[in-house]
Structure 1
């Protein structure tokens, strides 16, 4: 089916070894079992490497969309442009790599237009591997799916996110990449803390080298430090005072003494693509008794949640422990008041890997934690009248507890050490 129009041509694909940059050694057995139970021939991803599933399964990165096919026997096959063919042939963790030219891609585009030419090329690629039916991720392009159906290929949406579930359990190699990203993160946090600790106080703001120490200036230093450690980020949070009471306010303007300053850095390694995540809250001077109390309660919730982490407990259990501490101290949580705008107004954590937010969830509906899950633990308390407090570490779940991938002190007073 779907290949009646295809003129027979020699196949142009080669066996490819794993890239040294993406040595995940992924276990796709759960995906193979799904394909067998669903009675489909393969699983197709059509996206660029910004899609974490695409990068994970293919072991390859490219800025433009390419196709990755996983067949029922577990084979991984890539369809790429001629521009990416050489690199994919050496770097991708795939059994074969085929260039679009093997299916007269340019001629098809010339005759039928970009959309139809691309669909016909993908259909030929599938037919060449005996694939008449595919499962696709829920974010699969609708246009591609409709076009393939018109070419006689059965397309069904895989709704459960099997690849995302597979990615949630990290290999030893992946854990080491996240650890390295977190080390870079710690260097950036140390630079930010140093700037705050060594600033002068003039006319109610922090000043460095005669210029106001702004959120933007600290973020710039964070980014420069991360680049020197092989990481980058699109944005980060340096939020002072009322800005810090909104958990995702990036912060702006001069930093002030006697105010809480929330710094949340979540960089990605430029080579491997693995994220890190860490938050610390500082105050240069005295933020007041209520702010200090909120800091200590948040720290107690953070420590209690860490202590609850181990294989077999649920993310909901860990979140509940953090809520218990904060509620006992007299602050609202979304558990005690789903409509509250102040207090603990987010979940306790999330998975971190090729996406900054991925499975598992450390939240009211969070499922069972398993060895190899990498999660953030980040309770916080927020109120515009006081500011925001959040403390966050990144840990890997083990059979009997957790291993903390973060080695950075927790303290309200910043230092230059």
Structure 2
């Protein structure tokens, strides 16, 4: 996959700098995107109309096979001698400065979260370092190629298999006299469902750091991971956001389930949330602002008498988060589907995830993931929306 880096070229021209510099491991999405290389330890990537990597000897052979551009070793710049003479920190700074000089780069733009120690060290060595507060690489990453979208489809297929595993466990569970769900003779807990979600994802080439299986009052906090026994007649929010172990691209989806009979309030919330989701998709297309999609959701909830953060930014119940966010090499990335004004472009991948929350009743959230297209959208989801299992 070859990204369109013309926006980065424009930044270098506007700033009058020679290159764009990254130093991090590939957990930093910008680093993996620009370099095309996945490594667990920090390495240096320079863009100056071409991509150049500076890596350790450990990663050199693999980087030459996998990385997007040219690859050099720290040993090529006498790293050992410089560290022995100047110490670890300054020695490393001098290696990077020599790497830049070899490419005739005397000034660089860097992300706003660039390591401050390295920035200061390079400045001490007469390299001009300017912070890029516009998140230029992140903005480039926001618009996906068709190859990237295919990778995200694969992640989403694995995600839906994991969601089906969770739903099946809930469907097969039986409540005891206290309403606690049991499966195969054991109490069914949030942790147990989460474990099976993780196993399913691993079997399908994906992994995740954490997931949400939150029941009852836990579900009233949108980012409560959930813990302990699951109960009948209570809403259970399952939110799964894995990434592909091969490509690094994320998927994201949420469903709310109820084993037994949901309360009248939960049924009302679920109906409103489906209506809010449909309203969002009516608006979603290239050229509109993410705020217009968010407004469509808020209009539904506020029209039914529920507070939103648009109507009351201090609200603690009701619709207490944004409608969605970009997804790609990061689970949360540009653009925002919120009160923020940002124009949605063809090829952006965003979530639509309306929900309602109140500790007295729990929470309801439904989340799909879709590609923004000219004149509409492409929903990457094929999973149903049944509340009662």
Distance 1:159 1:253 in 2: 42
Moved over 2 A (4+): none
Distance 2:140 2:367 in 1: 25
- 1:28 corresponds in structure 2 to 5
Q: Find the partner of 2:260 among 278, 281, 285.
A: 285
Distance 1:100 1:238 in 2: 45
- 2:168 corresponds in structure 1 to 194
SS of aligned partner of 1:101: helix
- 1:156 corresponds in structure 2 to 130
Q: CA deviation at 1:366?
A: 3.6
Distance 1:218 1:67 in 2: 40
Number of residues of Structure 1 aligned to a counterpart in Structure 2: 388
SS of aligned partner of 1:242: helix
What is the root-mean-square deviation in Å for CA atoms of aligned residues?
0.7
Matched, 1:70 2:39: no
Cα offsets for 1:179-229 (capped at 9, x unmatched):
110000000000000000010111311001110000000000000000000
- 1:361 corresponds in structure 2 to 336
Q: Find the partner of 1:129 among 103, 119, 124.
A: 103
Distance 1:269 1:70 in 2: 26
Distance 1:109 1:234 in 2: 35
Matched, 1:346 2:330: no
Distance 1:317 1:226 in 2: 34
SS of aligned partner of 1:217: helix
Q: Find the partner of 1:47 among 6, 24, 28.
A: 24
Matched, 1:228 2:203: yes
CA contact 2:253–2:369 (8 Å) conserved in 1:
yes
Matched, 1:104 2:78: yes
Q: CA deviation at 1:108?
A: 1.1
Matched, 1:406 2:381: yes
CA contact 2:261–2:388 (8 Å) conserved in 1:
no
Q: CA deviation at 1:236?
A: 0.2
Pick which of 256-265 and 327-336 moved more: 327-336
CA contact 2:233–2:259 (8 Å) conserved in 1:
yes
Q: Find the partner of 2:212 among 237, 253, 266.
A: 237
SS of aligned partner of 1:140: coil
Q: Find the partner of 1:298 among 238, 254, 273.
A: 273
CA contact 1:360–1:366 (8 Å) conserved in 2:
no
CA contact 1:379–1:391 (8 Å) conserved in 2:
yes
TM-score, with structure 2 as normaliser: 0.99
Matched, 1:265 2:240: yes
Q: Find the partner of 2:229 among 244, 250, 254.
A: 254
Distance 1:366 1:290 in 2: 33
Q: CA deviation at 1:134?
A: 0.8
- 1:4 corresponds in structure 2 to none
Cα offsets for 1:71-90 (capped at 9, x unmatched):
1xx11100000000000001
CA contact 1:265–1:277 (8 Å) conserved in 2:
yes
CA contact 1:374–1:395 (8 Å) conserved in 2:
yes
